[in-house]
């Protein structure tokens, strides 16, 4: 009977651990999905901003420093989006592993 109780306790512990792992993975996937939307919008806006500044720079309206700051901001937003997408892939992999 003691062996049976130990086996049941171990089984319950394993199931609870697996459920917690799946739940964590689902939460991460969902939050990353939302972050991708926000980061996509930011990257798009910074790209538009850079294109506007670049046009003004070509027309002589802004300095090269302003153009480079806008370019750097646009690149930074793109890099952030790429990193968030990378995290999303990692979280999907973790979810698949958790589901077995």
Output the CA angle 33-35-39, nearest 5 degrees: 120
Residue 61 burial (C-beta neighbours within 10 Å; 0-12, 13-18, 19+): exposed
- Per the structure, the complete domain to which residue 87 belongs is given by 2-99
Question: What distance in Å separates the CA atoms of residue 54 and residue 73, rounded to the nearest whole number?
Answer: 13
Residues of the chain below pLDDT 70: none
Q: Flag whether the pTM goes above 0.85.
A: no
Token digits of residue 14: 């394993």
Domain count, the chain: 1
DSSP at 1:
-
């Amino acid at each position: 009977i003691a062996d049976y109780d130990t086996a049941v306790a171990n089984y319950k512990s394993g199931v609870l651990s697996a459920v917690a792992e799946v739940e964590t993975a689902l939460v991460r996937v969902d939050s990353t999905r939302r972050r991708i939307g926000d980061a996509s919008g930011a990257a798009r806006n910074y790209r538009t901003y850079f294109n506007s500044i670049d046009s003004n720079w070509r027309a002589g309206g802004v300095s090269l420093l302003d153009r480079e700051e806008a370019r750097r901001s646009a690149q930074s937003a793109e890099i952030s989006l790429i990193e968030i997408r990378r995290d999303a892939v990692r979280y999907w992999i973790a979810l698949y592993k958790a589901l077995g």
